[in-house]
Copies of this chain bind each other. A is one copy, B any other.
Amino acid sequence: MEAFSDGVFAVAITLLVFNLKVPDMSSGHLGRELGHQWPSYLAYVISFFSIGICWVNHHSILDRVAMADRELLFINLGLLLGIVSIPFTTSLGAVWYKDGNDGKLAVGIYCLNWVYVSLTYMVLIRHLMGHAHLSANATGVTLQSLQRKGFIGISAYAIATVLSLFLPVLAFLVCLILAMYYVFGVEDEVIREVA
């Protein structure tokens, strides 16, 4: 399952580039057009680092699995479904974010996409903790630590979803801060294994 998951993550993160549109030559001034696209650039960077970090954690967990079962397979596909949807919801949020109620809906959907990813990620960890499929290099302590961080993720993305109903831009920023938090807060032992 791991090579396939790695491939899906790599393609999904690269497809984010389609959120950056080359302005049409008939649109007049390039500088102004590119300036208007700043939400797309911000959303691109946020989603890029979020997917990147998500991959690191996902890869690290799958590395610890000694034997898969039917439920794990299903949960993992469910998680990948969420990741593959990110380029779409990123574009949705970046294009519509400032359009009144529609903008709140669009950014809300983006945040909900991450709530969904965090949830399936959490389900994955819980499933592994409840069943003894782990290889020798997996300690209960590490899983509990991952679970704690996963819980922080769900909570933060849920707060971002609520915020998007009032201040869509602020919700984007919460997602950015969360990505940064994960980049600097990933467990040392996770990183060591991934490298």
Residues of A within 8 A of B (CB): 1, 3-4, 6-17, 20, 22, 25, 29-31, 34, 45, 48-49, 52-53, 55-56, 59, 65-70, 72-74, 77, 80-81, 84-85, 87-88, 91-92, 95-96, 99, 102, 105-106, 109, 183-184, 186, 188, 191-192, 194-195
Contact = CB atoms under 8 A, between A and B. Distances in A.
A3 B188 CA distance: 20
A134 B52 CA distance: 23
Given A7-B6, A106-B30, A1 B99 contact: no
A31 B84 contact: no
A195 B4 contact: no
B22 A67 contact: no
Contacts of A3: 3, 6
Given A1-B195, A20-B85, A29-B102, A77 B96 contact: no
Closest 9 CB pairs of A and B: A7-B10, A68-B195, A30-B102, A11-B14, A20-B88, A52-B77, A22-B91, A68-B191, A8-B10
B15 A14 contact: yes
A70 B6 contact: no
